[in-house]
Amino acid sequence: MKSFIDPEEIWEYINQSAARKSRIRDIIDKSLDKNRLTLEETAMLINANDPELVEEIKQGAKNLKQKVYGQRIVLFAPLYVGNLCINNCAYCGYRASNQHMKRITLTNEDLVNQVKALEDAGQKRLILVFGEHPKYDANFIAETVRTVYSVKSGPGEIRRVNINAAPLDIDGFRIVKDAKIGTYQIFQETYHEETYRKVHLGGIKRNYEWRLTSLDRSQEAGIDDVGIGALFGLYDWRFEVMGLVRHTNHFEACYNVGPHTISFPRIQYASELNIDKSHIVSDYDFTRLVAILRLAVPYTGLILTARESSAIRDEILQFGVSQIDGGTNIEMGGYARKKENEKQDIDFEQFQINDNRSLNEIMEELIDHQYIPSFCTSCYRAGRTGEHFMEFSVPGFIKRFCQPNAMLTLAEYLEDYAPSETKAKGEKLLEEKLTEMDKDGFREKLVEKLKLVKEGKRDLYF
């Protein structure tokens, strides 16, 4: 059976799609009408090298984000559960051949302490990250998820647990689904099969097709909330952008649903890193590709992580990013024992992170720039996932829920965790956003719910 990723097809689009100004502007207008772009149209944006057109693409992405999502930015934290790994990936500190890596799997007590520390900072959304190892099977993942949901510290609770872990078979995905996970995230790393085999030197991850079809199996198991991604820097960034869009096409054609999120991490320094650096992506091209992805798939959340510096993150946020991590610590057990200004121990971590700001520092900066920090989990818990999410997100209706729900979760954070200065800024922002809303029944309901938050009610959403 031929793979849905066809390198010849992708390169033909890239090499033959000329970037004419009038056509580029028509493509941007199409996206602003909330229509997903074709591979050919995406290739034209990729080939738009004229600085004037690049700026128009960025502005289009900025406008589209505002139309679809408003000013809200969803926040989450990664929690690394175990770094045992049987794979040998040239770009990853966890690879089996790395003798410097200190191997740890969190005990149940360790896990609880980590979650308490995250809740005490105000986190509500986590992504659990696992090395690829037989120990971390479907039952282990499911039990870990149940433990995380059970932990309550003060007013804190984790309301959504997403997963980044090895591909499973259909029965394994069913076991994990029963634990009530949110999104199951698997990155192909590179869609270029020849490069894939060069950088995956051992372990089950060498099987390109098993990984490529992993989220098809999750769909068959009933997990319709999935996240895809590529690790930029392994191969030509233009090919990887096209691969992500082609993967999206595949989901829509086969399951009538697109990915809930797309991630685009860049390679960062890791213990014993050993890769060809000829495809490292510059800041300029990185900004471009994020804007192109936003236009290509208007309804899908885009995730920008703390791999990037605070300066890069602050710049790229405006071009269509909808989710970021905050207060990130990827050292095994690091949240419960982190000390102020502590340097990373790269032999405890998968890679180097470059944004070490606390959650509150990021919250305050977002507020200063008129973004609404959000811990919303309403879609997942109200059943707006898969096809139901598409019904709201593709036409752009999801914004009607996103901004009010973001405001409610921000109000919770301000009451329960924010220092006085952050609280004052946040309350001012909430007042401003309320005055911008139409004076209809929906606004009145939001005002009432915000009053209830002030009175101590929690977990209110539309």
Residue 359 structure tokens? 């959650």
According to the model, what pLDDT value does residue 300 have?
A: 93
According to the model, what pLDDT value does residue 387 have?
A: 61
According to the model, what pLDDT value does residue 274 have?
A: 81
Residue 253 structure tokens? 């054609």
Residue with tokens 């944004």: 355
pLDDT above 70: residue 60 = yes
Residue of 359 and 272 predicted with greater confidence: 359
pLDDT above 60: residue 397 = no
Confidence band of 396 (pLDDT split at 50, 70, 90): low
Confidence band of 399 (pLDDT split at 50, 70, 90): low
Residues 122-164: tens digit of each pLDDT: 999 999 999 999 999 999 999 999 999 999 999 999 999 999 9
Q: How far is CA 176 from CA 161, 171, 222, 277, 388, in A?
A: 11, 9, 10, 37, 21
CA pair distance 425, 95, nearest whole angstrom: 44
Residue of 274 and 213 predicted with greater confidence: 213
Element at 68 (helix H, strand E) = helix 51-69
pLDDT above 60: residue 340 = no
Residue with tokens 């101590």: 456
Q: How far is CA 341 from CA 308, 344, 357, in A?
A: 18, 9, 10
Q: Report whether 262 contacts 297 (CB < 8 A).
A: yes
pLDDT above 80: residue 78 = yes
Q: How far is CA 435 from CA 411, 439, 446, in A?
A: 16, 8, 12
pLDDT above 80: residue 35 = yes
Residue 402 structure tokens? 């996103």
Mean pLDDT value across the chain: 93
Confidence band of 393 (pLDDT split at 50, 70, 90): low
CA pair distance 334, 324, nearest whole angstrom: 19
Element at 78 (helix H, strand E) = strand 72-82
pLDDT above 90: residue 50 = yes
Residues 154-208: tens digit of each pLDDT: 999 999 999 999 999 999 999 999 999 999 999 999 999 999 999 999 999 999 9
Domains of the chain: 7-65 (no CATH), 69-393 (3.20.20.70), 399-454 (no CATH)
Confidence band of 272 (pLDDT split at 50, 70, 90): confident
Among 72, 45, 92, 108, CA closest to 317: 72
The percentage of the chain sitting over the pLDDT mark of 90, rounded to a whole number, equals 85
The percentage of the chain sitting over the pLDDT mark of 70, rounded to a whole number, equals 95
Residue with tokens 């996240």: 227
Three-point CA angle 458, 461, 462, nearest 5°: 160
According to the model, what pLDDT value does residue 270 have?
A: 86
Q: Report whether 291 contacts 60 (CB < 8 A).
A: yes
Cβ of 206: how many Cβ atoms within 10 Å?
16
Lowest pLDDT segment from 42-56, 183-197, 212-226, 391-405: 391-405
Q: Give the three-class secondary structure for 106.
A: coil
10 CB-contact burial (10 Å; exposed 0-12 / middle 13-18 / buried 19+): buried
According to the model, what pLDDT value does residue 338 have?
A: 65
Q: Report whether 344 contacts 308 (CB < 8 A).
A: no
pLDDT above 90: residue 434 = yes
According to the model, what pLDDT value does residue 327 have?
A: 96
Q: Report whether 313 contacts 264 (CB < 8 A).
A: no
